[in-house]
Amino acid sequence: MSSRPIDQLLFRPSIPIPVAMDLLIGLDVGTTGCKCSVFDEDGTPLCSAYREYPLICPKPAWAELDPKQVWQSITEAIGEALSRLEHPPEAVKSLAVSSQGEAFMPISREGEPLHNSIVTPDQRAQVQTEALRDLFGARWLFEETGMVLFPIYTLNKILWLRDNRPKVFEKTDRFLCWEDFVNFKLTGNAVIDHSLANRTLMFDIHNRRWSGEILDELDLDCDLLALPAPSGQEVGEVTPNAARETGLSPGTSVATGGHDQACGCLGAGVTDPGPVYDVTGTVECLIPSIHEPVLTEPIFEGGYGNYCHVVPERYLILGYNMTAGSILRWFRDEFAQEEVRRAGEEGRPVYDLLDEMAESIPPGSEGALMLPYFMGAATPNWDTNARGTLTGLTLAHGKGHIVRAIMEGITYELRRNIESLRSAGIGAQEIRTVGGGAASSFWCQLKADITGLPVHVPSIPEASSLGAALLAGIGSGTYGSHREAVKRTYEVSRVHTPSPCEGYEDGYANYKKLYDRLAPLFPELSG
Domain boundaries, the chain: 325-419+501-520
Give which of 468, 505, 475, 504 is closest to 489, Cα–Cα.
468
User: How far is the C-alpha of 32 from the C-alpha of 342, rounded, in Å?
Assistant: 29
User: How far is the C-alpha of 474 from the C-alpha of 403, rounded, in Å?
Assistant: 43
User: CA separation (Å) from 115 to 27, 64, 137, 176, 226?
Assistant: 23, 9, 30, 12, 17
pLDDT at residue 282, rounded to an integer: 85
User: How far is the C-alpha of 148 from the C-alpha of 133, rounded, in Å?
Assistant: 11
The domain 325-419+501-520 is placed in CATH, from the list 3.30.70.1560, 3.30.420.40, 3.30.565.10, 3.30.479.30, at 3.30.420.40
Tell whether the torsion through CA atoms of 361, 363, 368 and 369 is positive or negative: positive
DSSP 8-state assignment for residue 198: G
Strand intervals (E) in 20-119: 23-29, 33-40, 45-52, 64-65, 92-99, 104-107, 117-118
Beginning with the edge strand found earlier in the chain, give each strand of the sheet holding 33-40 in spatial order.
Answer: 45-52, 33-40, 23-29, 92-99, 253-259, 234-237
pLDDT at residue 20, rounded to an integer: 62
Q: Read off the amino acid at residue 5.
A: P
pLDDT at residue 281, rounded to an integer: 87
Q: Which H/E stretch holds residue 10? A: none
CB-CB contact of 491 with 352 (8 Å)? no
Helices (H) and strands (E) in the chain, counts: 21, 23
- 163-199 in b/e burial notation, b at 16+ Cβ within 10 A? eeeeeebeebbbbbbbbbbbbbbbbebbbbbbbbbbb
Give which of 143, 28, 138 is closest to 465, Cα–Cα.
28
Number of other residues whose CB lies within 10 A of the CB of residue 460: 26
How far apart are the two ends of the chain, measured CA to CA in Å?
A: 54
User: CA separation (Å) from 113 to 104, 135, 175, 388, 526?
Assistant: 10, 30, 9, 39, 38
CB-CB contact of 46 with 14 (8 Å)? yes
Checking DSSP bridges between strand 227-229 and strand 191-193, what pairing results, if any?
parallel
Checking DSSP bridges between strand 430-434 and strand 275-280, what pairing results, if any?
parallel
pTM above the 0.85 mark? yes
Query: Residues of the chain whose pLDDT is less than 50?
Result: 1-17
∠ CA 406-411-412, nearest 5°, is 100
Give which of 305, 325, 203, 227 is closest to 262, Cα–Cα.
305
pLDDT single digits (tens) 196-245: 999 999 999 999 999 999 999 999 999 999 999 999 999 999 999 999 99
User: How far is the C-alpha of 365 from the C-alpha of 510, rounded, in Å?
Assistant: 12
